Chain A
Amino acid sequence: MVQTSTNHAQHTPMIEEEERALERTASPDTEPGLQELGWPAIGVGTAMATWAIARQHGLKQILFAAAGAGLIYTGLKPGFDKGFKRLLANTAATEPVEIDITTTIARPASELYHMWRDPEQIPRFFRHIKRVEHLGERLTRWVAKVPGDMELCWNAEITEDKQDELIAWRSIEGSELVSSGVVSFFNLDDGQTRVHLRLRYQPPGGEFGAAIERFFKAIPEQILREELRAFKQLAEAGEVATVRGQPYGGTQNREQGLSMLTNR
């Protein structure tokens, strides 16, 4: 499988176009984070409530505690409105990560383009994506599986769509993952198609919880590489190779060993 990861863009018209398309998606780093919360109100409210609970003064205590709770609520309110998970995801802003993967597929570009554009097909090769919902002509909602039975959602808007050649997208307001990307399909002379995927995303902050952190440590390159491989297998062979579910002379250690070895 010709599958390389490289940051050295080859100089072909296609690559320059991808570059432009990715720039036009404009990194959506304006998504609100935890700074949206009313931190002064939360601070003062917490102090009042703590003080009131520490001193046992009957009615006065209840009043102060209630006022403190009110302030804390005011401070947290943007979180109730905008979703805590989302605010957490966009906190502790780290450098955006860029992933760049190329593969060669022995099918025509037009066919691959249509597979990529079909929300029904996407979970067949993007194994970490639970489903893609069609929200409008250029709008889709992506739901990803995260370890620990959690979900991570984002809304993607297609910013550029050239039939059989290129699709560029970015996440929009209301997303738990800030990302943008471009995929291009380029017909090679030997009848094969070069598929080039570039993805930029903002890794969520540590407060999101250990499970999601683990997910994001594992995901970037290797998972996407496997998913692009699954895309190639589906396109060429009509199925994704697997040994999951086949018999073996079992021992208890085996499944453990296998899950360490096998992606599928």
Chain B
Amino acid sequence: MRALCWFGKEDVRLQEVPDPTIINPHDAIIEVNLTAICGSDLHLYDGYIPTMESGDILGHEFMGKVVEVGPEVQNLKVGDRVVVPFPIACGHCHHCHTDEFALCDNSNPNAWMAERSFGHSPAGIFGYSHLYGGYAGGQAEYVRVPFADVGPIKVPDTLSDEDVLFLSDIFPTGYQAVDVANIQPGSTVAVWGCGPVGLFAIKSAYMLGAEKVIAIDHVPERLAMARHQAGAEVLNFTDDPILEALKEMTDGRGPQTCIEAVGMEAHGTGLMDYYDKAKQTLRLETGRPHALREAIMACAKGGTLVVPGVFGGIIDKLPIGAAFSKGLTFKMGQTHVHRYLKPLLARIEKNEIDPSFLITHRLTLEDGPEAYKTFRDKQDECVKVVMRP
């Protein structure tokens, strides 16, 4: 089969590789109908996530058709059309029992490695470095899905591939960011980053009762999308002094909920931005936490800061004193996608949201290597790339 493989920094190639096979009894093989490049794949592309190996198959957002099931799979059969969550969860450990699927005890074959880096191991993830299990990803014609009774959800024929693809990651990720913040009706939510996760966070915030959502970015077409498609008030950080503007827009109090949907490769302005870029280039820190710092400073007293943006290692100059003094609550982590599949599928079926609104590029796997670059450089007004194998 053909698959997009990682060969190093800014080196993604379409390769002919062997077809996946059933390895464990709860595996299924999915023929991929539609797959996407995630913003977090760009951290791999830019070489900021350690423990990638040359030849690793990329991709954790995909959906398709079941073509083979292992001997102990009971809920799926050949021919089922499914969308697959990006974290791999066993469904039977303590964390799976408490709906914390991205913290599954049993799905990371390299748990020892993660334990050394993080103290404990999170769940394995498709196509996202050996630290997260080294699983082959879904930017391919076929993919092996472990614990197939637990992750994949069957989708009705009435919905198109594009309607359901983003249940694999970015829709639940944006939704969880708002869900865990426990927002009060009438509250104001600020979202840093108007990429796919930020856009879904804006839409989810309104779904869950926010009165006003303020979105922050500097890419014109993304700000336009946040305003016109998602209904946010927008701020461009190259023009507006964000902290002052946010205070102004919230009667001096600051947003009660701040969502950092940027992650480790934030862009900022001024001296601090150069400082972070230099340190990250020298690997003295693994993230450029510009947006995170700003969100801490902006957040209202007693507010909640949610971080769906991916961080992988160590950052510095984090204003922990501000967070402490204002009594902030931090919520962060990979998305417990399994938890949201049914309710969000229901919202799509009821036409409360059309998740395909942010797709700007419909391509094939052959276009993949070029698409990574286009997406990373935000050329061609690229917001979301989907590929049909």
Residues of A within 8 A of B (CB): 1, 3, 104, 106, 190, 192, 222, 225-226, 229, 232-233, 236-251, 253-254, 257-258, 261-264
Which of B13, B106, B115, B135 sits near A246, CB closer than 8 Å?
B135
User: Contact residue range for chain B?
Assistant: 35 or more
Q: Quick check: which of B47-55, B308-316, B334-342, B374-382 contacts chain A, the rest being far away?
A: B47-55
CB–CB B105/A248 < 8 A: no
CB–CB A106/B92 < 8 A: yes
CB–CB A232/B105 < 8 A: yes
CB–CB B130/A236 < 8 A: no
Provide the residues of chain A in CB contact with B57, threshold 8 Å: 247-249
Provide the residues of chain A in CB contact with B230, threshold 8 Å: none
- Please give 19 more A-B residue pairs, beta carbons under 8 A apart, in addition to A249-B7, A257-B54: A106-B93, A236-B92, A236-B105, A237-B93, A237-B147, A239-B24, A239-B26, A241-B88, A241-B90, A241-B106, A241-B124, A242-B23, A243-B133, A246-B23, A246-B136, A248-B55, A251-B55, A254-B55, A258-B134
Which of A104, A229, A251 sits near B111, CB closer than 8 Å?
A229
A244 to B109, alpha carbons, bound, how many Å? 10
A148 to B69, alpha carbons, bound, how many Å? 37
Q: How far is the CB of B352 from chain A (nearest CB, A)?
A: 35
The verdict on B250 contacting chain A, using a C-beta distance below 8 Å, is: no
Q: Quick check: which of B14-22, B78-86, B193-201 contacts chain A, the rest being far away?
A: B14-22
| Interface residues of chain B: helix, strand, loop or mixed (majority) | loop
A253 to B52, alpha carbons, bound, how many Å? 13
Residues of B within 8 A of A (CB): 1, 3, 5, 7, 13, 15, 17-21, 23-26, 51, 53-57, 72, 88, 90-94, 97, 105-113, 115, 120-121, 124, 130, 133-136, 144, 146-147
A261 to B116, alpha carbons, bound, how many Å? 13
A192 to B15, alpha carbons, bound, how many Å? 45
Chain A minimum-CB-distance residue to B110: A262
A13 to B186, alpha carbons, bound, how many Å? 54
A106 to B105, alpha carbons, bound, how many Å? 10
CB–CB A236/B106 < 8 A: yes
CB–CB B54/A241 < 8 A: no
A239 to B25, alpha carbons, bound, how many Å? 7
CB–CB A242/B94 < 8 A: no
CB–CB B20/A247 < 8 A: yes
Q: How far is the CB of B251 from chain A (nearest CB, A)?
A: 45
Which of A190, A226, A232, A243 sits near B106, CB closer than 8 Å?
A232
A3 to B116, alpha carbons, bound, how many Å? 12
Chain A minimum-CB-distance residue to B150: A237
Provide the residues of chain A in CB contact with B130, threshold 8 Å: 258, 261-262
Provide the residues of chain B in CB contact with A251, threshold 8 Å: 7, 54-55
Chain A minimum-CB-distance residue to B3: A249
Chain A minimum-CB-distance residue to B22: A245
Q: A257-B53, A262-B134 are in contact. Are A237 and B18 (CB under 8 A)?
A: no
A239 to B106, alpha carbons, bound, how many Å? 9
A263 to B108, alpha carbons, bound, how many Å? 11
CB–CB B51/A254 < 8 A: no
Provide the residues of chain A in CB contact with B54, threshold 8 Å: 251, 253-254, 257
A233 to B55, alpha carbons, bound, how many Å? 28
CB–CB A248/B24 < 8 A: no
CB–CB B17/A250 < 8 A: yes
CB–CB A233/B90 < 8 A: yes
A245 to B18, alpha carbons, bound, how many Å? 10
Provide the residues of chain A in CB contact with B20, threshold 8 Å: 246-247
A216 to B107, alpha carbons, bound, how many Å? 28
